[in-house]
């Protein structure tokens, strides 16, 4: 299984005019599915916190006790699902995030949602590799980082 940031599958949750694909990052998601992986879609913490018409905000602006608590609350049902899959022998192959997202960057400067998710996973001794959709990735255009995604899915 592969865990995905919400907007990889649903670009409608992204701030208006910031979408980089129609509907979904089909090229990325199809590569995952073609390898036979199921998807665990994380909820969009920003959408659930401030709605669809929210303004752009920075990591520092989201870094509040209230937002962190909101993120942890959203993650508890996901953790329950992950633990159920693991208990039945499934493997969590990796996590797909969004580079430069104040919530869902999983690698360069982890977003607030991912920081809270990693704390929860670490407390459960669950380790996952990460790959982020690069900030300059546009759906329909080949990008060098796709090779890194392919490596994650093969290893």
68-113 per-position pLDDT tens digit? 999 999 999 999 999 999 999 999 999 999 999 999 999 999 999 9
- Residue 56 CA to residue 46 CA, distance in Å, equals 10
pLDDT of residue 129: 95
Q: 136 vs 124, which has greater pLDDT?
A: 124
For residue 132, list its beta bridge partners: 97
Its pTM stands at 0.92
pLDDT of residue 100: 94
Q: Where are the beta strands (DSSP E) in the chain?
A: 2-4, 39-41, 94-98, 129-133
Task: Work out the pLDDT band at 25, boundaries 50, 70, 90.
Answer: confident
């Amino acid at each position: 299984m592969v865990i995905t940031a919400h907007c990889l599958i649903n670009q409608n949750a992204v701030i208006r005019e910031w979408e980089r694909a129609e509907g979904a990052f089909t090229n990325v998601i199809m590569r995952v599915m073609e390898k036979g992986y199921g998807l665990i879609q994380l909820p969009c913490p920003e959408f659930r916190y401030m709605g669809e018409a929210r303004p752009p905000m920075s990591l520092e602006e989201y870094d509040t006790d209230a937002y962190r608590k909101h993120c942890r609350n959203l993650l508890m049902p996901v953790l329950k699902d992950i633990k159920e899959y693991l208990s039945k022998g499934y493997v969590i192959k990796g996590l797909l995030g969004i580079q430069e997202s104040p919530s869902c960057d999983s690698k360069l400067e982890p977003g607030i949602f991912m920081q809270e998710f990693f704390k929860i996973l670490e407390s459960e001794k669950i380790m996952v590799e990460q790959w982020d959709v690069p900030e300059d990735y546009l759906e329909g255009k080949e990008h060098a980082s796709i090779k890194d995604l392919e490596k994650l899915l093969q290893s």
